[in-house]
Structure 1
């Protein structure tokens, strides 16, 4: 039985290592967007490069995160976690030193691989190492500190971009990564799942990532209307069909199709796609709108976004408790509608926009909507499957959210008629941004309608989320028994 106590020196070092690792990934999810206009200007890049700067990272992270958890269970969670941290740090260094846009995009893809290795390992180390009596509090501290990292990301990113330059948005990852590795190697015990067996679903992971890559390329380059785009889109659809076929035939698939036999689980994941597609598109375009159209500095744009994430950090736990009392149907309906209202209020943000009168009200309403829905969304995912599959359900839901953001960043500029050079023209970008917010609000309304029609209260005694304090801007927090996420047997002493 795990016996590390939270009050012991080893327990504090263990918590520090896992917080540092997960905070780097959470920070990266919010800090890079603020730097996009400066990256485009310095590298003479068009909008497609800015899209790939975000999506190359999301592509590998979303495609490999389930496989990353399985590798940790099989070969040692500390080993894979440390490998992920080192990988992430080296890729961050390459991003910071990138001489051109091509190298930057390739390095961002490598950074996502590191994130996929370390993200599930961070929570898995806590679950596998801490004494059962301390595990819940350790998870709470881990998620709370991680939420703080995500919340301060836009502010930190803006300060770095306006100060030493956008390259430091990536280089800032190297010092905490070095500290994390040193602490992990010295103080974190190794653990593995003795029940982990069978072959890894490498083919499924490869086909899933390939399908996402091809479809993303087709969406980003669709404005060109070339035969290459059509062929790429067709190949992406074929890869997606092949992925489904492989998952249905394998005895130990990465994403078991039978888990979708739960209608509630399937419906909540479709709602997740709607919600996080809107979030992904919004946070990608909002920082550009504030800088390109409203004339904000990078620091000003980053600071402007703080209310939404700060509200999540402060009130997500209380929203989860309220959702347990009311049932998930109401918050999963009202939350997306509040978010849609916040995005419609962003239509007022144009040239010479007032922060107090135009920007702040929109972000407060958006933040309240996010607070309302994210914790109940996670609880409903966990409550829609057997407890033994809670980790798997959470991993799939987390990956679905990242895929939604990936596709939204690729598709939204196309749907809004945003050309490759649009972000260089304030008037053109302002008009396209308005159309984008209408699309985002519409997708959120679809998610709300689906929630009202399909979501029901989970059965009594269902599993509730442990990560109650978080800033799920890019994806809901990973929850549950990490061994379950990789197909292994659930641990008997996992807190319920």
Structure 2
């Protein structure tokens, strides 16, 4: 029998293993850690003020990612109106396109960091994000199409910064409380970013909405420069002393291309179907091609790739449960945050600034949840933390789905925001720490990118599913009652996703108890 502190934390292979990827299965029931050499973890030696600057800089990856989501969620109607767009499917692309790119390219971003240096890719990602934020603002002089392209390319910035920020934390802190708390702060910065996005998006939209993205571009450029100074030199791994040709060979380009193509085509089909309807043949063609490229990707990763971008041999059923629970929870969250705002603005008559104020409870709720996870991991099973997150997703989405559109804030809306944030900021740190402890030090980018891929791709794909439901039941959405019917259906779909995640997380807990009882 293992103690509760040993439950759900997988065994971490030794950092100096000569293999390209961990070959053993990731056992989330073990807590055994490798012996750490001195000076392998440089952040442990930093002074407290320097650690605060270091961790704070890396947390800007999650903060700015959520800013990019929140500033558009709050002003999607204003931006669409300036381009003459009112179709809900087209408006959802402003959100889904951004999350789609993040979820699609995070695996590539993590691998690029592993091969060419996590710090270097982190700084490049911030600079890239800044450039396309500027293009998004300047698109007011062009067309809606350029704005969508800018949003899509914006997403490549967080796709580089998120996995590499997490990878740097995993490389520079030794396993233990400080590492857990750094991951918790990383996750806890999400609600601050979301509120900042809502607030500044609403404020700038009152004057001229392009300032939302131009100001974002200026801030991101400053973060990129600051990160180059703040992040300390990272430990040199044995495989880093290779030629450019050897690094390119290890990038698994065939796997990356087929994987990205599969993810883009599959997600594009579901989100574009909301705009163009399923009657158009190209929607089905994209869906089928996405499935074919997906099969090709798995064949390459299993049978051909020398250094697979997704080392499937390292996964087991426990990791699959964590995958699915994370996916259902974050898909639920993406639908919830989009449609609860649409109901409040388009049915309830609220303004973007009011919505920003209404989301303020995510700051204390999210921060306390993330820090509590950092303290509790290692003391209680991570599987139970996942269950708590799924219960929060379910309760929060039920409150949103049952909320009368003209009810006062301090009833359904307030408690829905307060509760569902617990789900977001418990499931993410738990899953991230599980995967970080599951892979060697040099593969922290790969481990972090898997979690972030699941999170962001689930948000985008969930919005595609929900949009399909909305447009098929709202009878055209011309009248207020018809719009509300579509929003209502999408919110109930989020309830179903949360319920599925809760059932699977309970099965995961039961499976862990059964394994320990038979050990």
Does the pair score TM above 0.5? Answer: yes
* 1:213 alignment counterpart: 264
Contact kept in structure 2, 1:335 and 1:369, CA below 8 Å: yes
Aligned counterpart in structure 2 of residue 177 of structure 1, from 185, 203, 220: 220
Contact kept in structure 1, 2:382 and 2:430, CA below 8 Å: yes
Aligned counterpart in structure 2 of residue 264 of structure 1, from 307, 318, 323: 318
Superposed displacement of residue 295, structure 1: 0.8
* 2:101 alignment counterpart: 60
Aligned counterpart in structure 2 of residue 359 of structure 1, from 407, 413, 420: 413
Any residues of structure 2 matched to 1:84-483 within 5 Å, and which?
Answer: 84-98=125-139, 99-126=142-169, 136=179, 139=182, 143=186, 146-147=189-190, 149-186=192-229, 188-191=231-234, 193-196=237-240, 197=247, 198-222=249-273, 223-248=277-302, 249-260=304-315, 262-319=316-373, 321-322=375-376, 324-370=378-424, 373-381=427-435, 385=438, 392-417=446-471, 425-455=479-509, 456-457=511-512
Structure 1 residues 132 and 216: CA distance shift in structure 2, 3 A: closer
Q: Deviations over 1:36-86 (max 9, x none)?
A: 111221111222322222222222222222222222333233332222111
> Gaps spanning 5+ residues in structure 2: where?
1-38, 241-246
The SS at the match of 2:301 is helix
Superposed displacement of residue 366, structure 1: 2.4
The SS at the match of 1:173 is helix
> Gaps spanning 5+ residues in structure 1: where?
461-496
Q: 2: distance between equivalents of 1:382 and 1:457?
A: 20
Structure 1 residues 319 and 24: CA distance shift in structure 2, 3 A: closer
* 1:490 alignment counterpart: none
Superposed displacement of residue 182, structure 1: 2.9
Structure 1 residues 208 and 352: CA distance shift in structure 2, 3 A: same
Q: 1: distance between equivalents of 2:80 and 2:191?
A: 28
Contact kept in structure 2, 1:86 and 1:177, CA below 8 Å: yes
Q: 1: distance between equivalents of 2:288 and 2:358?
A: 40
Q: Deviations over 1:120-169 (max 9, x none)?
A: 33344455567999974993696277346324235424533543333233
Number of aligned residue pairs: 458
* 1-10 or 395-404, which deviates more: 1-10
Q: 2: distance between equivalents of 1:376 and 1:217?
A: 30
The SS at the match of 2:155 is helix
Contact kept in structure 2, 1:67 and 1:201, CA below 8 Å: no
Q: Deviations over 1:88-143 (max 9, x none)?
A: 10000011111321101111121112222222333444555679999749936962
Structure 1 residues 148 and 213: CA distance shift in structure 2, 3 A: closer
Superposed displacement of residue 189, structure 1: 4.6
Superposed displacement of residue 364, structure 1: 2.7
* 2:77 alignment counterpart: 37
Any residues of structure 2 matched to 1:4-43 within 5 Å, and which?
Answer: 5-7=45-47, 14-15=54-55, 17-43=57-83
* 336-345 or 238-247, which deviates more: 336-345
Contact kept in structure 2, 1:285 and 1:433, CA below 8 Å: yes
Q: 2: distance between equivalents of 1:203 and 1:420?
A: 42
Contact kept in structure 1, 2:252 and 2:306, CA below 8 Å: no
TM-score normalised by the chain length of structure 1: 0.81
Q: 1: distance between equivalents of 2:231 and 2:457?
A: 32
The SS at the match of 1:280 is helix
Contact kept in structure 1, 2:180 and 2:433, CA below 8 Å: no
Q: 2: distance between equivalents of 1:199 and 1:274?
A: 32
Structure 1 residues 293 and 148: CA distance shift in structure 2, 3 A: closer
Q: 2: distance between equivalents of 1:217 and 1:140?
A: 32
TM-score normalised by the chain length of structure 2: 0.78
Superposed displacement of residue 348, structure 1: 3.9
RMSD over aligned Cα atoms: 3.3
Structure 1 residues 151 and 91: CA distance shift in structure 2, 3 A: closer
Q: 2: distance between equivalents of 1:372 and 1:20?
A: 19
